Amino acid sequence: MSLAEPQASGPIGVFDSGIGGLSILNALREALPHERFVYFADTAHTPYGERSDAFVIERTASIARHLRERHDIKALVVACNTATAAAIHLLRAEHAGFPVVGVEPALKPAVAQSRTGEIAVLATRMTVESRKFEALRAPLADQAQFHVVPCDGLAGAIERSDAPAIASLCDRYLAAAGRFGTEPGRIDTLVLGCTHYPFIADEMRRIVGPEVRFIDTGAPVAQQTRRLLDQAGQLAGDDAAGDLLLLCSAAPEALDVAAARWLVLAAGPAFLADAAPGSLAAAA
């Protein structure tokens, strides 16, 4: 792998299995308005949450190499809970010394904010069944009761903008979590453990009510990315004009529609590229 030395003027790479990582990208662009970004959506293989570990590991490694080789990124944000759980340790080993930031369900912040000690966690099955998730939950087991629900099909429904399916799945999974409210014994905090889920927060709010606290990971991920770049002396100057390149492995028109709907574009211009060349677009 031939890699250029990271430069402060280089972009930050961000990737997800599909559109969910746009929620993280929004937070990154708000915190780092002068930075350039390259966002890669692996839309040919979304969602990752119902794929095998081996498949997710291979895709994550391939996309990381592509972003470093072709786009000279200076940091990588894995904006996918499933890919973080399956592959972040391998990425950090392969790219030692290179800033790699992952996302994970925000259990500790949820414990800090919950007053009833009852917390619901909605995420993909691969995330909640991973060793990384159990390592997050175990130290907090005596501080809160976690109602963990694997949400099969929900990320896919969000990718398709399938409103009836989204409504039905939200009803099902939130009912499976338990009773919501601020009274003792009820769930007062909801962890959105997939980067797709912030896009349907209004639908979830309809079900759980206005008093339940929602926790996602966008702001903490942006703060960690800024901290690592600052430590490395790689932050863009205040006179730099941030911009954005959107890439995908299939169906660029779908990413274009999703970006127009979900992405806050005020931080700079966005450019949508066609599907990535070679194996990144074609792998089955």
Read off the DSSP letter of residue 80: -
Task: Write the DSSP assignment of 118-141 as a string of letters.
Answer: EEEEEE-HHHHTSHHHHHHHGGGT
What's the rounded Cα separation, in Å, for the pair 241 and 252? Answer: 25
Catalytic site residue 194? Answer: yes
Beta-strand runs (E) in 30-167: 37-41, 75-78, 100-101, 118-123, 145-150
Q: From the candidates 151, 170, 194, 248, which is the catalytic residue?
A: 194
What's the rounded Cα separation, in Å, for the pair 207 and 114? Answer: 19
- Reduced to 3 states (helix: H, G, I; strand: E, B; else coil), residue 51 is coil
Instruction: Give the residue among 92, 95, 1, 77 at the shortest CA–CA distance from 40.
Output: 77
Helix (H) or strand (E) holding 282: helix 279-282
CA distances from 128 to 36, 39, 103, 104, 148 (A): 32, 25, 13, 10, 7
CB 27 within 8 A of CB 35: no
| Main-chain phi, psi angles of 95, to 5 degrees | -115, 50
Catalytic site residue 170? Answer: no
Q: From the candidates 80, 151, 170, 248, which is the catalytic residue?
A: 80
Contacts (Cβ under 8 Å, ≥6 apart) of 23: 79, 195, 196, 198, 199, 216, 218, 262
CB 62 within 8 A of CB 279: yes
Q: Which residues are catalytic?
A: 80, 194
